[in-house]
Amino acid sequence: MEQQFTLSTRARTQFIEITERVQEAVRGSGIRSGVARVFVPHTTAGVTINENADPSVVRDILATLDRLVPQDGSYDHSEGNSPAHVKASLMGFCQTVFVEQGKLLLGTWQGIYLCEFDGPRTRRVVVRVDSDER
Amino acid sequence: MEQQFTLSTRARTQFIEITERVQEAVRGSGIRSGVARVFVPHTTAGVTINENADPSVVRDILATLDRLVPQDGSYDHSEGNSPAHVKASLMGFCQTVFVEQGKLLLGTWQGIYLCEFDGPRTRRVVVRVDSDER
Amino acid sequence: MEQQFTLSTRARTQFIEITERVQEAVRGSGIRSGVARVFVPHTTAGVTINENADPSVVRDILATLDRLVPQDGSYDHSEGNSPAHVKASLMGFCQTVFVEQGKLLLGTWQGIYLCEFDGPRTRRVVVRVDSDER
């Protein structure tokens, strides 16, 4: 079953760590062993995994994406948020993390991030945990 | 069980919306609740999700990828389609979408796109729907 | 159940094909039909799929990523490996491949690659195979 939560972003582009929220969803599912999937039902926001120890890492990712797909570039789409659409596809809309003993099996430095590219907005995150116990 | 369909692309680079085809595969599976996965068994085509309301969005994504990974850049691979290989890895080869009440749980603006980067060609798309009903 | 293996990379950036290792994990699982997922629990290495016939393809992907996210660019993160973090998020941390008759359902030219972006190091790869047999 899906669980959802929403969060409010505060800038045009921003990574917000959601690892704890996803872990809560795993706990809420009662599932001890299986797979958690985090899906973002948007087209100008995505989801990725990256380092959660030093916040300069996600700042560097955001800055690099801004350099590669600049806000003031030349785009057809009239809403002015084409860079956000491109960046969202580059990061992706779904991340998969294994679950063992009720916990997300992330690496030491890994955190899960909602990637806002056209904020500030309210965003939805949908989490699904599937058990491998038969 | 996998279901497959093929489609013919008409340009070197092109996004073709396949949401309806994937939804048909979900219907064909008879599964009401679970997960659908869309896999592209190629190395110069990928699959992504993005806005399906205004076609200028996918044109902007294609144009941005062409600017970042130009067709006339300098590459080792002698077949001339290295940019297509790079772009396919940037977009990815598998998209996951949840299924509820027999329907793909996509966001309001989300569509699923086959990403052709080395066409025109005939491409295969493999869809797998797994039920969470035990 | 997860299966793991480690491998030693030999350069700062390198793609190492792991298709055979993943296929071994599928064999080890005894599962004939289902889904294999390959997860990399790192933040400066990722996993992608691409052509395994001509090694110049993955060299071109590495070179293009180096051009887009240069090692000598300007970054905040003091460890000097910000480009590796960006590239890992661009490639992704999990790949999904279907399994039929005990074999990975890859396309003719597809291989699965560990993407090292901050080596040389020892890297872990976690494989999970889920059966659809009830």
pLDDT at residue C63, rounded to an integer: 98
Q: Which has the closest alpha carbon to B74: A68, A122, C114, C66? A: C66
SS3 assignment, position A66:
helix
Distance CA B2, CA C22 (A): 20
CB proximity list for C32: less than 8 A, separation 6 or greater: C99, C100, C101, C102, C131, C133
Nearest CA in chain C to A104: C41
From the list B89, B126, B130, which residue is nearest C61 (CB)? B89
Q: Phi and psi for A12 in degrees, rounded to 5?
A: -60, -50
Do the strands B45-51 and B14-17 form a parallel or antiparallel pair, or are they unpaired?
unpaired
The CATH-assigned architecture of domain A2-131 is Sandwich (2.60)
**Predicted confidence pLDDT, tens digits, chain C (134 residues):** 799 999 999 999 999 999 999 999 999 999 999 999 999 999 999 999 999 999 999 999 999 999 999 999 999 988 899 999 999 999 999 999 999 999 999 999 999 999 999 999 999 999 999 998 76
Say yes or no for a CB contact (<8 Å) between B50 and A88: yes
Q: Residue B116 in contact with residue B9, Cβ under 8 Å?
A: yes
Say yes or no for a CB contact (<8 Å) between C89 and A49: yes
- Mean pLDDT of the B25-35 span: 96
B59 to chain A, any CB pair closer than 8 A? The answer is yes
Q: Phi and psi for A64 in degrees, rounded to 5?
A: -65, -45
Nearest CA in chain C to B131: C132
pLDDT at residue A27, rounded to an integer: 97
Tell me if the bond preceding B70 is cis, omega within 30° of 0.
no
Per domain, the residue ranges of chain C are: 2-131
Is the complex ipTM higher than 0.95?
yes
From the list A42, A85, A96, which residue is nearest B57 (CB)? A85
Say yes or no for a CB contact (<8 Å) between C107 and B43: yes
Q: Which has the closest alpha carbon to C49: C9, C94, C86? A: C94
- Mean pLDDT of the A29-41 span: 97
C133 to chain A, any CB pair closer than 8 A? The answer is no
